[in-house]
Structure 1
Amino acid sequence: MDPVRDGDPRRIGPYRLIGQLGSGGMGRVFLGRSRGGRAVAVKVVHAELAGDAEFRRRFAAEVEAARRVGGFYTAEVIDADADADPPWLATAYIPGPSLAEAVTGHGPLPSAAVRVLGAGLAEGLAAIHSTGLIHRDLTHRNVILADDGPRVIDFGIAKALDTVHLSTRVIGTPGFMSPEQARAGQIGPESDVFSLGCVLAYAATGTGPFGGGRADLVVYRVVHEEPDLGGVPADLAPLLRACLAKSPADRPRLDDVLDRLETPDAAATRWLPPDITAMITDRRTAIRTLTRPGDPGPPKPPARAPEPPGPSARHAGEAERPAAASEHDGGAATAAATLALLCLPGLLAMVFQAAALLLDPGPPVWLMLANVMVGVAEAVVLATGALLLFRRHAAGRWMIAVTGGAVALHGMSASMQYLLTGGRLTLETPVSVLIFVIAPLTALAAAGAMLMALLPSTGRWCLRRSRAEGPARQALGQRGGAMP
C-alpha cells in the first residue's frame, strides 16, 4: 500500500483516507477509515468520467443495484455519493490477497481449495444475478481470498463505462471474458459462468485456459479455440470444460455448478494453504494498526515524481508489491537442468572416441562422422537448454525434453554399434568401459532429464517466471471493472 501523496484527497465523505491501494479504468482506490475505526475501500471516480452526465446517471443506477446484492461471498457496498465531485463508492475492506497475488506468490491451489473457491464464487455470482446485475469482469484480480471463503469484488459498475466507451472498445479482460463478450455482443449470466471457468482453471494451474501473449491473440483463442485444461485435476476438468463451452446455452447454471462443487463442512473450514493463510493474517494485523482510532496514519512520503495510474484496478485487499516468484515447482525443473548438464561429460567422451576412430580402417567412416556431429549437436543443445531452464525459459524445457530422448537412444545404441563393428563384450579396455558403462549411464541421465522436463510442474515453473501480469494480460485498453 502506498501512502497518500500531495494532491491526493485526505477525506472522501465521512471517511479519512490513509493509503492508496490502486488505480484503474474507473478511478483510484484508497484505504479509508470510518469515524468508528472501520476499514473501508473508497473508490474515487476519475475526473474525466465524473464530467460525463450520462456516466454519472448510469453510475448512480448501478450503485443502487449493487447495494441490493447480499450473500456471504461478495464485498458489501457500504456507502456512495454519485452526486459528489468526484463521485465515490465505499465497500467493505477484505483483508486478504487477490487470487492473482496468491497464485503468483505461492503457486496453484490444491484441488480441494479450488472446489471451495468455485462454490463460493458461484454463490456470489448467484447473489449478483438475483438483483439483475452481471459482473462482466470476473477475473483472478477480482477475487479476494479470505480465511472464511472467497469474495467477489468489482461487480456491476463495469456497465457504467459503456456510456463513454461503447463504440471504442470491449469492456473486459482478455483470457477471462466470454466469446460473446469478446465479440461485443449481448451478454447474460452465462457470460459470468464462462469467466468462472477461466478463473478456476487459473487457480488450479497457475495460467488461464487460453494462454498468454498479445491481447488480440488471446481473444482469438477465446472465440475460436478450445481451452487448454491439461493441468486441471481430473475431478474438476469436466465441469470447467462445460463452463467454457462456446455457446452460452451449453454452459451449466450456477445451481448446477454448486451441486457439483459442494464440499463437506470440514473442507471449507481451513480451505487455504498455510502460506496464503499467513498472508491474510499479516494483512489483517497491518490494517488493524492503521485503522486504530487516534492513529495518525502512514507517514508522508518523500517528494518524488508522480507516477501514471496503472491500467488495472486492484481491490483494497491487494496491496501493491513486487510479484514474488514461486519456488513451488522448482524441484523438477532444477533436476531436469542438472541431469542435462550431467550428460555432457559422457557425450564428449563418446564424441572424442568416435573422432579417434575416423582414422581406423575398421569402422565405417560415415558412421563415426555421424556420431561426432550428432554428439556435438546434442551437447550444445543440452547445455543451452539447461541454462535457459535455470532462467525459467520454456524453450529450455523443450530443448531438454527433445534432446534428452535423442541422447538416451544414442547412448543405448552405442554398445550395439560397437559390437557390430567388431568390438568384444568386455571391460578390459578404456573403449569398452566407455561403451558399456559411461554411455548407458549417460543415456539414463538423459532419460531422467527428459522426464523431469515433461512434468507439468516444470511447465508451471517456466510460466511463472515473470507473472506480474504485464501488457499481455491487460484489458483491451484499460479495464472497465474497477468498481463493484
Structure 2
Amino acid sequence: MSGTRGPQPLREGDPREVAGYTLRARIGEGGMGTVFLTREREGRRPVALKLIRREHAQNERFRRRFAREVQVARTVQGPHLVPVVDHDAQAELPWLATRYVPGVPLDEALRDFGPLPAAAALRLTAGAAHALAAVHTAGLVHRDVKPANVLLAAEGPWLMDLGIARDTDGTSALTTVGRMVGTPRYMSPEHALGRDLTSASDVFTLGLVAAEAVTGRHPYGEGGGLVVATRIAGTEYDPPDLSALPAPLRELVAAALAPRPTDRPTAAEAAAVCDALASEAPGRGWLPRPLASAVSALARRADPRTFPWLRLRP
C-alpha cells in the first residue's frame, strides 16, 4: 500500500492517533477513506491504517457490510497477500490496518517506467495467481484484480484490496462507494454482462493484468471503462490480439482470457504454470533497475532515521 511519492507529512486536520496507533504520515487516499502510516502497538513493524470517511461511517448499511467483509478478509492467508492485522468496524470512524509494504502499484509503474520485462511480468503473474489461489481456497472471489491492486515490492508482488471480496455462493454483502462493484476496464465477460461471478472471473482479470504488465497496453484497447467493458463482453466473437506477448506468457494469457469460465485454468493451475516457466522465485533482483530504485526509495521514506518527521514520541 504505497505509491511513487511515498509517505507524506500529515495535514492540518488529520488525526494524530487512532485506537492507540500513532499516525506518522499519509500514504494514500481514495473513495472509502485515507490511509496512514503507523506501526504496531507492540513492536515496530510498520502498518498501513485505512480510516473510513465520515460520510460512509454514518451509513449503517455500509458499517454492517464493512464489518462482515473485514472479518472475511482476516480469514484469508497466503503468499503475496497483504494481511489484515487489526480493525474496528464499530468505531466512530471505522478503520482497517494491514501490513505496510513499501512498493509501487503496477499502474503507476507502467505509467512511470513502462512495461515490465517478460521475466518480471511472469513472476508478477505467478505471485498474483498464488494470492488468488489462497483467496479462492477460502471460498471467496476477489472481484477487483487490476494493476492498481498489484503492488510491486522488493521481495515480490503483492495483491491488495480484498474490500469487495465476496463468498463464492453469493451470500456475503458488498462494500461499494457507488453503484459499480469492481472496475469496468478490468471485468470478466460474465461480470460485464451482469452474470454471477466465480473464481474463474478473477482468473480472467489476472490475464488482463498480465497482458498489460508486459505490453503496457490493455488487451482490449483504449477508451472509457464502459467502452472497454463492452468489448470484453463481446470477446467470444472478437477476441483480443495477443501477438505482442512473449510466447511463454501468451499461451497462459490466452487460456485465462477464454470467453467461457469453464475453459479457464484455475488460479492454482496458472500459478503452477508460471512457477514452471520462471527460472527462480521473485527476489530482490526481480525488478528492472530504475523501478527497483524507486521501490528502495519508498522504503527509505518510511524510515524515521531518514525523515525525522516520521519519528514517534516515546
TM-score grouping bracket, smaller chain normalisation: 0.7 to 0.9
CA gap 1:184/1:26 in 2 versus in 1, 3 angstroms: farther
Q: Where does residue 294 of structure 2 map in the other structure?
A: 279
Q: Where does residue 74 of structure 2 map in the other structure?
A: 67
Q: Percent identity?
A: 43
State the shift of 1:65 in Å. Answer: 1.4
Aligned length: 294
Question: Can you list the C-alpha shifts for 1:41-75, whole angstroms capped at 9, x where unaligned?
Answer: 11111222212222212211211111121122010
> What is the one-letter code of the residue matched to 2:157?
P
What secondary structure, in the 3-state scheme, does the structure 2 residue paired with 1:7 have? coil
What secondary structure, in the 3-state scheme, does the structure 2 residue paired with 1:145 have? strand
CA gap 1:170/1:264 in 2 versus in 1, 3 angstroms: closer
Q: Where does residue 169 of structure 2 map in the other structure?
A: none
1:141 pairs, out of 133, 137, 148, with 148
What secondary structure, in the 3-state scheme, does the structure 2 residue paired with 1:227 have? coil
Distance of 1:204 and 1:32 partners within structure 2: 34
Q: Where does residue 253 of structure 1 map in the other structure?
A: 266
Q: Which has the larger helix fraction?
A: 1
> What is the one-letter code of the residue matched to 2:161?
D
Name which of structure 1's ranges 155-164 and 56-65 shifts more when overlaid on structure 2. 155-164
1:171 pairs, out of 147, 162, 181, with 181
- Superposed, 1:269-418 pairs within 5 Å as 269=283, 270-289=285-304, 295-297=308-310
> What is the one-letter code of the residue matched to 2:280?
A
State the shift of 1:200 in Å. Answer: 0.3
Does 2:222 align with 1:212? Answer: yes
Distance of 2:165 and 2:25 partners within structure 1: 24
Distance of 2:272 and 2:309 partners within structure 1: 48
What secondary structure, in the 3-state scheme, does the structure 2 residue paired with 1:89 have? strand
Question: Can you list the C-alpha shifts for 1:399-420, whole angstroms capped at 9, x where unaligned?
Answer: xxxxxxxxxxxxxxxxxxxxxx
Distance of 1:45 and 1:264 partners within structure 2: 39
Distance of 1:133 and 1:172 partners within structure 2: 15
Q: Where does residue 243 of structure 2 map in the other structure?
A: 230
What secondary structure, in the 3-state scheme, does the structure 2 residue paired with 1:97 have? strand
Does 2:280 align with 1:266? Answer: yes
Distance of 1:47 and 1:297 partners within structure 2: 26
Cα-Cα RMSD: 2.2
Whether the aligned pair in 1 keeps the contact of 2:215 and 2:245 (CA below 8 Å) is yes
Q: Where does residue 39 of structure 1 map in the other structure?
A: 46
With normalisation by structure 2, the TM-score equals: 0.86
Q: Where does residue 221 of structure 1 map in the other structure?
A: 231
With normalisation by structure 1, the TM-score equals: 0.57
Q: Where does residue 257 of structure 2 map in the other structure?
A: 244
Distance of 2:305 and 2:182 partners within structure 1: 33
Question: Can you list the C-alpha shifts for 1:261-282, whole angstroms capped at 9, x where unaligned?
Answer: 1145636332211112111211
Q: Which has the larger strand fraction?
A: 2
Distance of 2:40 and 2:297 partners within structure 1: 21
State the shift of 1:14 in Å. Answer: 2.1
Q: Where does residue 86 of structure 2 map in the other structure?
A: 79
Q: Where does residue 324 of structure 1 map in the other structure?
A: none
Whether the aligned pair in 2 keeps the contact of 1:170 and 1:182 (CA below 8 Å) is no
Question: Can you list the C-alpha shifts for 1:15-61, whole angstroms capped at 9, x where unaligned?
Answer: 11222222223222122233443321111112222122222122112
Question: Can you list the C-alpha shifts for 1:218-271, whole angstroms capped at 9, x where unaligned?
Answer: 111111142232321122112101111222112111222122211456363322
Distance of 1:204 and 1:152 partners within structure 2: 17
Does 2:12 align with 1:2? Answer: no
Whether the aligned pair in 1 keeps the contact of 2:151 and 2:157 (CA below 8 Å) is yes
CA gap 1:296/1:109 in 2 versus in 1, 3 angstroms: closer
CA gap 1:279/1:64 in 2 versus in 1, 3 angstroms: same
Unmatched segments (≥5 aa) in structure 2: 1-6, 167-171
What secondary structure, in the 3-state scheme, does the structure 1 residue paired with 2:22 have? strand
Does 2:34 align with 1:28? Answer: yes
CA gap 1:161/1:20 in 2 versus in 1, 3 angstroms: farther
Q: Where does residue 23 of structure 2 map in the other structure?
A: 17
What secondary structure, in the 3-state scheme, does the structure 1 residue paired with 2:271 have? helix
Larger Rg: 1
State the shift of 1:297 in Å. Answer: 2.8
Distance of 2:176 and 2:225 partners within structure 1: 21
Distance of 1:133 and 1:276 partners within structure 2: 32
Distance of 2:44 and 2:28 partners within structure 1: 21
Distance of 1:267 and 1:61 partners within structure 2: 35
Question: Can you list the C-alpha shifts for 1:164-212, whole angstroms capped at 9, x where unaligned?
Answer: 66xx732111221112222332111111101100110110101111122
Distance of 2:231 and 2:107 partners within structure 1: 21
Distance of 1:128 and 1:243 partners within structure 2: 17
Distance of 1:95 and 1:164 partners within structure 2: 26
Distance of 2:112 and 2:310 partners within structure 1: 28
Question: Can you list the C-alpha shifts for 1:74-113, whole angstroms capped at 9, x where unaligned?
Answer: 1011110010011000000111111112222221111111
State the shift of 1:291 in Å. Answer: 9.1
